[in-house]
Chain A
Amino acid sequence: MVYLIPEFLLVLVGAVGLVIAFAPSRPRLRAYSLVGGLTCFGGAVVAGYLAYLATTDLGAELAATAPGYLTTTLALDPFSRVFAVLSLIVCGLTFLLSKEYLETRMQDHQPELLAVIAFAAAGMSFLGSARELITIWFSIELLSVCGYVLAAFTKDDERSAEAALKYFILGTASSAFMLFGLSYVYGMTGRLDLVGIMEATAGDGIGVLLPTAAVLMLVGFGFKVAMVPFHMWCPDVYEGAPTPVTAFLSVGPKLAALAALARVFSTAFPHEVARVAWEGVLFWGALITMTLGNVVAIKQSNIKRMLAYSSIAHAGYMLVAVLVTLRSDLALSALAIYAFAYVFMNLGAFAVVTSFSNRTGSDALHSYNGLARRSPYLAWAWAFFALTLVGLPPTAGFLGKAYIIMAAWDAGATWNSPMFWLLVVLVLNSAISLAYYMGVAGRMFFKPPAHDDPVPVGGGVGTAIGLCLAGTLLMVLAAGPIIGAIQNGAVFALH
């Protein structure tokens, strides 16, 4: 039971939001976003303690005596609790950065939007710890349905409705494919838990049907992760959805799906035939995803579309960590570190965008000209987030990329091996990404503004930016404990 405190908190926050949606007074939004955000950060501390606990003898004892309904469906390992920390942080930061947007752009249904975000964060946390296909698929669906609702939230906006419709049609189609693959996996093994599938497929008798089913399942995950060629929805939805929702969608479903991807494929399909298939798909997927994301991002004129392609590129980097899960003990730590870094830097960048569009109503790149004079805080914050998104030392982004490269190296990326060239592409891509992140920063600092009206920063979103800045800087300190927790609790496959 104790293990589920983070999920309970998220569901509770969401439920409270639905109840106070009926309260008529205005301060409810301020109170809810503040209290909800604080609850999430408090919950993150608890979840962090649980992650630590899972590495200790006491944690092992608790896991061994956990009731059946927990052990059949959820993995009680440190990785899952580290992921719960991440979900709570994402939820808390989104609460804070949404407040001003909701006040200025949405007249009604404000608490409902935050409540749905909290439910989606709960789904994210469940997905990070599920060890069995029903739970995995269900958590994905919870995240998806929340995503459709969130994207459609400003329903008097045509762009929002269009984004939601595209997201919905492609999302349900991809989940149908995933489920079709899943049904074959179930049919061949008679099992739905990942370990059971692994045990049932050990040996030579399993032919080509299993890899086919695995690749079909990959379609569903690929859609959530926005892996090329399942990325088509991403720029449209990111542009059309309300900006705080875009911020959430760019981190929540993506990271949760990556974590589940790592768990599903390394636990359930570690044997030769299936493994060759999914590792091959992921290798080329990662390579093309990061390259396409970065190259197309350069040409964008809307900052939300640019960040959408940038998030596709980051998914490509993280897929490298997923790819080497079976070959390197470092891979999961690298994935977790990069996920944390990505949350802080990407939510930070989106917080800047939200704050700017709250006041100006524009997402066009040229409207950012001369922002340094109009709002130094936003401009400097962007410059910093851009540095860390590129991955320059000594920031969190650098740390994340360094760990991914270390993990890939550890997995045997010797000179001239395919993995080596994947890493070369990764580094080259980071260099390409410098162009567009710094291009925006250049506009802010060196181009003359159209007018000199200051751009005030709201309290909620300003705090979110500050927290993200602190997060990116303090990752250096947090990396050690995170790796320690994941490495010491080496029960990834078995629990």
Chain B
Amino acid sequence: METLVFFGLAVPILVLAVVVVTTPHILRAVVSLFLALVGVAGLFFLMRAPILGVMQLMIYAGGVVVLFAFAVMLVRRVTGEFVRQQTGLAGPALVVGLLFFVVLMGIGSGYLAGLEDEAAAAGSVHPVSRDLAERLVLTDVPEEIDPVEDFSPVMIRDYVIPFEIASILLLVAMIGAVLVGHPLEQKHPGGEIEPEEPAEEGEGA
């Protein structure tokens, strides 16, 4: 049942992803990306990572895609015409993409096969590898871990320094987006922001 849901989400996501990278209409690409991101959020819920699912919906699907939409609209206002997505180099790109996938899969499956051979030959493998092999095929999700409850202590206690770095990062991104995207005519810092800018401001939250 769960696997059916997985396929029901994964296949549309991949189709939408292909649309994102091939469609000539940029707004269509943005909308497809939005739907694909919602689908990925569904996968997170399926993986019993509700926090990630909610974050994906709120920040990614809700924030980033809106940001993209704003950028497309802005660009359209500046150039006065609809932006068309051109695709050059499709052949080489296809080769690069496929090659990467084949190599990755080859290494991954070769790795698993190697583990089995080794286990057959020696009767035992390194514990970590065995763990990994089991984890790749078996799917027992330990129920005793509550992702929501266990999440915040780790984030705020053990990982407080990356957390603080995140705050600096978002601060810099906010300042940077405002300064760089600021209209040229306006010479004074700290002045009011043009009506079309607020999409770039919402990120500090």
Say yes or no: A112 contacts B161, CB within 8 Å.
Answer: no
**Stretch from B25-33, B68-76, B84-92, B106-114 at the A interface:** B106-114
Say yes or no: B118 contacts A205, CB within 8 Å.
Answer: yes
Say yes or no: A155 contacts B126, CB within 8 Å.
Answer: no
Question: B103: shortest Cβ distance to chain A, in Å?
Answer: 8
Question: A403: shortest Cβ distance to chain B, in Å?
Answer: 31
For chain B, residues 95 to 126, give those with C-beta under 8 angstroms from any C-beta of chain A: 104, 107-108, 110-111, 114-115, 118, 125-126
Question: A239: shortest Cβ distance to chain B, in Å?
Answer: 19
Chief secondary structure at chain B's binding surface: helix
Q: Which residue of the partner chain, among B129, B130, B162, B176, contacts A73 with CB atoms under 8 Å?
A: B162
Q: Which residues of A contact B115 (CB under 8 A)?
A: 205, 207
Q: Which residues of A contact B118 (CB under 8 A)?
A: 204-205
B165 CB within 8 Å of chain A: yes
Given contacts A187-B132, A204-B126, contact A22 B165 (CB under 8 A): no
Given contacts A141-B169, A155-B180, A205-B126, contact A134 B162 (CB under 8 A): yes
Q: Which residues of A contact B80 (CB under 8 A)?
A: none
A123 CB within 8 Å of chain B: yes
CB-based nearest B residue for A113: B179
Say yes or no: B189 contacts A207, CB within 8 Å.
Answer: no
Q: How far is the CA of A68 from the CA of B159 in the complex (A)?
A: 9
Say yes or no: B173 contacts A108, CB within 8 Å.
Answer: no
Q: How far is the CA of A105 from the CA of B152 in the complex (A)?
A: 47
Q: Interface residue count for B (Cβ, 8 Å)? A: 39
For chain A, residues 64 to 104, give those with C-beta under 8 angstroms from any C-beta of chain B: 68-70, 72-74
Give per-residue flags for B177-193: 1 if the beta carbon is below 8 A from chain A beta carbons, else 0: 00110101001111000
Say yes or no: B111 contacts A148, CB within 8 Å.
Answer: no
Question: How many A-B contacts if CB must be within 8 Å?
Answer: 121
Q: How far is the CA of A80 from the CA of B122 in the complex (A)?
A: 43
Q: Which residues of B contact A11 (CB under 8 A)?
A: 168
Q: How far is the CA of A91 from the CA of B180 in the complex (A)?
A: 22
Q: Which residue of the partner chain, among B131, B165, B171, B173, contacts A138 with CB atoms under 8 Å?
A: B165
Q: How far is the CA of A302 from the CA of B111 in the complex (A)?
A: 49
Q: How far is the CA of A122 from the CA of B172 in the complex (A)?
A: 12
Say yes or no: A206 contacts B159, CB within 8 Å.
Answer: no
Say yes or no: B168 contacts A119, CB within 8 Å.
Answer: yes
B14 CB within 8 Å of chain A: no
A425 CB within 8 Å of chain B: no
B166 CB within 8 Å of chain A: yes
CB-based nearest B residue for A187: B132
Q: How far is the CA of A206 from the CA of B127 in the complex (A)?
A: 10
Q: How far is the CA of A214 from the CA of B171 in the complex (A)?
A: 31
Say yes or no: A206 contacts B126, CB within 8 Å.
Answer: yes
Say yes or no: B172 contacts A146, CB within 8 Å.
Answer: yes
Q: Which residues of B contact A69 (CB under 8 A)?
A: 157-161
Q: Which residue of the partner chain, among A72, A108, A134, A190, contacts B188 with CB atoms under 8 Å?
A: A108
Q: How far is the CA of A73 from the CA of B188 in the complex (A)?
A: 40
Say yes or no: B158 contacts A68, CB within 8 Å.
Answer: yes
A387 CB within 8 Å of chain B: no
Question: B192: shortest Cβ distance to chain A, in Å?
Answer: 14
A-B contact pairs, 29 of them (CB 8 A): A11-B168, A21-B190, A69-B158, A69-B161, A72-B158, A73-B159, A126-B165, A138-B162, A138-B169, A139-B165, A142-B169, A145-B169, A149-B173, A149-B175, A149-B176, A153-B179, A155-B179, A155-B180, A155-B182, A189-B128, A200-B128, A203-B128, A204-B126, A205-B118, A206-B128, A207-B111, A207-B129, A208-B114, A209-B108
